[in-house]
Amino acid sequence: MRIPPSFEEKNTREKVCKLKKSLYGLKQSPRAWFKRFSDTLHKLGYKQGQADHTLFTRIDVDGRRTILIVYVEDIITMRDNNQKIEKLKHQLRKAFKVKELKELRYFLGLEVARSKEVMFISRRKYTLDLLRETGKLGCKHASTPLKPN
């Protein structure tokens, strides 16, 4: 680990800190991991989103787009070309320990279903669970829950 900027002096610039315990689990570990991850993606030609810093995109010469979304240490990749996705996974495996899961079905309350041509994203399960938790599952729906004005 490099010496933090507040502790640097002229003669310590080439030195490093010896950790007495693992960096994993410390407050700065998520920030250090994300910095390393985003630096890796920048080197691969990805641009980080301005409104959402966990969104990375890359547009190839042929106009095809690759999208990555990161939540904690989970990464979702989207692309219309499977060969490019495999290449990206290979590049990420070089830099990180990667555990690949099956196709996405649920993520942060989103339910994902797909056919050959279309991907459907829904919050049906999340909404039903929320209604069940609040005891509102059997309630009748209304087009306007409150009287106007």
Per-residue pLDDT tens digits for 80-99: 777 788 888 888 888 888 88
How high is the pLDDT of residue 31?
81
Weakly modelled stretches of the chain, pLDDT under 70: 1-3, 8, 10-13, 20-26, 145
97 with 117, same domain?
no
User: Residue 54 falls within a domain, yes or no?
Assistant: yes
How high is the pLDDT of residue 47?
94
Give how many domains the chain has, as a whole number.
Answer: 2
Do 84 and 67 touch, CB atoms closer than 8 A? no
- What is the rounded CA–CA span in Å between residue 42 and residue 48? 8
Q: What CATH number corresponds to the domain at position 49? A: 3.30.310
User: Residue 93 falls within a domain, yes or no?
Assistant: yes
35 with 59, same domain?
yes
How high is the pLDDT of residue 25?
60
Full residue range of the structural domain in which residue 93 is found: 27-101
User: Residue 123 falls within a domain, yes or no?
Assistant: yes
Backbone angles phi, psi at 125, to 5 degrees: -60, -45
Residue 108's Cα: distance from chain center in Å?
Answer: 11
